[in-house]
């Protein structure tokens, strides 16, 4: 069977699509990759929070999936809004890559080693809030473009440091000279960070059967918890928020641990909470953690319209 994969055309997105293509080929499928330019790619100069949020990176690809121009869509899970279009589903989450953020500096040294008033580039409101919470003296500037573009701007001296996803660097085979991992406990990752999502038409049983072979149960449980949290908050990249789930198999029974936060964009107010439960109850763990943060005043910290917090 031939499976057509739809993906963004960035170098990183294509690398992720090739990971999925290789797994599908190993399962016996013939694969074609169709690269697409999304609205998010066309508006690289704009701040995402001002032009529609993370859905800008997936809309055209999902439309192609609905229209049957492609059979499978491959995304970074953190790019996907909480709700999917009718008729689509996430059929597989391959094993999660490193979920952490990393600080890449031009002259060496980690976050504490940056000079007073250093400029750090990031396009993420979450990263901005956490950087300012850790170092209120930093100047955090918007920085968009693909990973190579961002590294080039760092090398050219446009900023002193940038924050990137560890998974993106690894998938691209990049190893900058000065990379410093940021603790996931402090710099809680974005929902779905490090996870590739494989989306299909719910009614396409033949494609689903092949794609579901790529699914990793542990990664699915973590993704379910994190997206349930996102769905309950109704949040997007318009809100500095984060959630990260970890499946712990060291005890007698597996346990899903989850940490989460919501923050003001200036980093002055951050609410953190954590929870745990059985992997089978992953969605309930995520939803409960969102409820806990709401009870502690999350609505007052963020700039969301209060109507979006309704059940």
Spatial separation of the C-alpha atoms in residues 78 and 234, rounded to whole Å: 14
Can 71 be counted among the known catalytic residues?
no
Annotated catalytic residue within 41, 67, 71, 79:
79
- Rounding to the nearest 10 degrees, give the CA dihedral for residues 55, 56, 60, 61: -60
Can you tell me the distance from the alpha carbon of 95 to that of 23, in angstroms, rounded to the nearest whole number? 12
Of 229, 235, 291, 236, residue with least CA distance to 256: 229
Pairing of strands 161-165, 101-105: antiparallel
Give the sheet arrangement for strand 119-121, strand by strand: 139-141, 119-121, 161-165, 101-105, 179-181
| DSSP-assigned letters across all residues of 155-217 | HTTS-SEEEEEHHHHHHHT---SSEEEPPTTTSPPPTTTT-EEEEEETT-HHHHHHHGGG--H
- The residues assigned a catalytic role are 79
């Amino acid at each position: 069977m031939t499976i057509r994969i739809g993906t963004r055309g960035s170098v990183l997105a294509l690398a992720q699509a090739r990971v999925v293509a290789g797994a599908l080929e190993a399962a016996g499928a013939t694969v074609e990759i169709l690269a697409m330019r999304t609205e998010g790619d066309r508006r690289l100069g704009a701040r995402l929070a001002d032009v529609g949020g993370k859905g800008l990176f997936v809309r055209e690809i999902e439309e192609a999936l609905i229209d049957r121009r492609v059979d499978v869509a491959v995304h970074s899970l953190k790019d996907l809004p909480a709700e999917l279009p009718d008729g689509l589903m996430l059929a597989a989450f391959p094993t999660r890559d490193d979920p952490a953020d990393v600080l890449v500096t031009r002259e060496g040294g980690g976050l504490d080693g940056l000079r007073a008033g250093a400029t750090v580039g990031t396009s993420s409101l979450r990263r901005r809030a956490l950087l300012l919470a850790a170092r209120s003296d930093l100047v955090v500037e918007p920085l968009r473009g693909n990973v190579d573009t961002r590294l080039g701007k760092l090398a050219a001296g446009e900023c002193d440091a940038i924050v990137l996803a560890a998974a993106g660097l690894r998938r691209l085979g990049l190893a900058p000279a000065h990379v410093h991992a940021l603790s996931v406990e402090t710099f809680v990752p974005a929902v779905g960070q490090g996870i590739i999502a494989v989306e299909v038409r719910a009614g396409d049983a033949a494609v689903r059967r092949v794609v579901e072979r790529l699914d990793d149960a542990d990664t699915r449980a973590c993704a379910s918890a994190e997206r349930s949290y996102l769905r309950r908050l109704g949040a997007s990249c318009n809100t500095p928020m984060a959630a990260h789930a970890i499946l712990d198999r060291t005890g007698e029974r597996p346990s899903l641990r989850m940490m989460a936060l919501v923050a003001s964009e200036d980093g002055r107010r951050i609410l953190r909470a954590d929870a745990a439960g059985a992997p089978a109850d992953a969605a309930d763990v995520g939803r409960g953690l969102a409820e806990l943060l709401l009870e502690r005043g999350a609505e007052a910290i963020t700039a969301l319209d209060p109507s979006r917090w309704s059940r």
